Structure 1
Amino acid sequence: MELALRDLLKDRPAVKFDDIDDLTGHWHHTIAERQAADPSFDPTGKRVFACIRRLPSWIMSMVVFEATRNKHLVATREMIVRGQCFDGTYVNRADDYIDLFNVDVHHWIRTEYLAADVAKAFDLQQDDVAEALLRYRSNVTPPYIKNTEFWFTDDDLGTLYANNPLWASVEDRVYGGHAPISLRQSLVDPVDAVRATEQRGV
């Protein structure tokens, strides 16, 4: 999405992108971390955007991504149902991540409706966004089964959200709920989301 936005917004003089490098890492910081590292950084008056996806989809993406980076760090079934995953050699919980970014967010961009939400947030044409997202697609993780019912029973979903109440509360606000019936969908990646958005006419 970052590459797509660099392209789509390149003619807007008010938009400034951070340089991506392996030294500062500031492009990967939360707002608080950025301010701590650079006191001159002032987010006052700026709109804050944050991406989100349904928790079952997010946890499986993280599990597969980390297992791809290190085949010895594969989350157990018990970890997955609790919303836990490896991050390097650490074990973190889904709520640990969303807690970092759930601060004064003005616009949540849902992965499941990626093209539509990006277009609305940045006042762009949805077709242009969809084309750019597909053009700059990234294959960071290998293919895996993306069906919620393959990974989680209704009881599993209840355990997953009970162990991550902050994520549950954000989903309730952004999606209008997190009941199991609303989660019986494919675990989408950005390309799936673009195509699904086009098919639904969102």
Structure 2
Amino acid sequence: MIIGPDFIWLHFPKCAGTALELALRDLLQGRSAIEFDEIDDVTGRWHHTIAERQAADPNFDPSGKRVFACIRRLPSWIMSMVIFEATRNEHLVATREMIVRGKCFDGNCVNRADDYLDLFNIDVHHWLRTEHLAADVANAFDLQQADVADALSRCRSNVTPPYVRNTEFWFTDEDLGTLYANNPLWASVEDRVYGGHPPASLLRGLVDPLLR
């Protein structure tokens, strides 16, 4: 979580959050009263939702602040989660059946994409599209897009190893229909944020989100 005088940024997992946090540390230098959570695997504060932070800190008050979080297209997100978890534990590799339904391991638990989104969606006022991160972040924080793109390029994260990013390698049109049908909340957010979620628009490939 990043907390400013008039905004809160929530770290939705596997949406370039680590790179963006590092970039914003650079880009927001000179602005007063901005707090950056430390990234660690102990406290879990970095991934707090609004409710979790209020429970941990009774003095935390989000009222009147714009709430941002990053999001990405569902096929891209689920593959990033699957590869990331398999890298952390080679025994926790999602099955084909799990993937096309938007399910993945998170530690020893199995969660659905909508389970993650449901934790954040109620509080987020503005979604920042990971595929268009430089433009959306520049608009959200009143920055120059070229400066944001440069900072993101310098702060790229390698927590997820390289993998095939061609959508057609992982999903057929039928698979994509199943994926969205099993995650209606994500489908509705994509409809609102991206202007739709037609499979044809996704078959162009899972591009590197930080290249846009």
- Same fold flag (TM > 0.5): yes
CA distance in structure 2 between the aligned counterparts of 1:140 and 1:186, rounded to whole angstroms: 21
What is the DSSP-based 3-state SS (H/G/I as helix, E as strand, rest coil) of the residue aligned with 1:74?
Answer: coil
Q: Which residue number corresponds to residue 86 of structure 1?
A: 105
Q: Does 1:130 align with 2:149?
A: yes
Distance 1:24 1:87 in 2: 17
After TM superposition, give the deviation of residue 21 of structure 1 in Å: 4.5
What one-letter code is carried by the residue in structure 1 that aligns with 2:98? Answer: M
Aligned length: 193
**Counterpart position of 2:188:** 169
Give the structure 2 partner of residue 76 of structure 1. Answer: 95
Where in structure 1 are there 5+ consecutive unaligned residues? 198-202
Check whether the contact 2:50–2:123 (CA below 8 A) recurs between aligned residues: no
Distance (Å, rounded) in 2 between the aligned partners of 1:121 and 1:155? 36
Q: CA 1:15–1:33 in 2, change beyond 3 Å: closer, same or farther?
A: same
Match of residue 151 from structure 1: 170
User: Which has more strand, going by share of residues?
Assistant: 2
Report the aligned-residue RMSD: 1.2
- Greater CA deviation, 18-27 or 72-81? 18-27
**1:15-164 correspondence to structure 2 within 5 Å:** 15-164=34-183
Deviations 1:14-44 (A, max 9, x none): 4332344455332221000000111100001
Q: Distance in 2 between matches of 1:21 and 1:90?
A: 20
TM-score with structure 2 length normalisation? 0.87
Contact 1:66 1:74 in 2 (8 A): yes
Runs of 4+ deviating beyond 4 Å: none
Structure 2: gaps (5+ residues): 1-19
Moved more, 19-28 or 137-146: 19-28
Q: Which residue of 1 aligns with 2:24?
A: 5
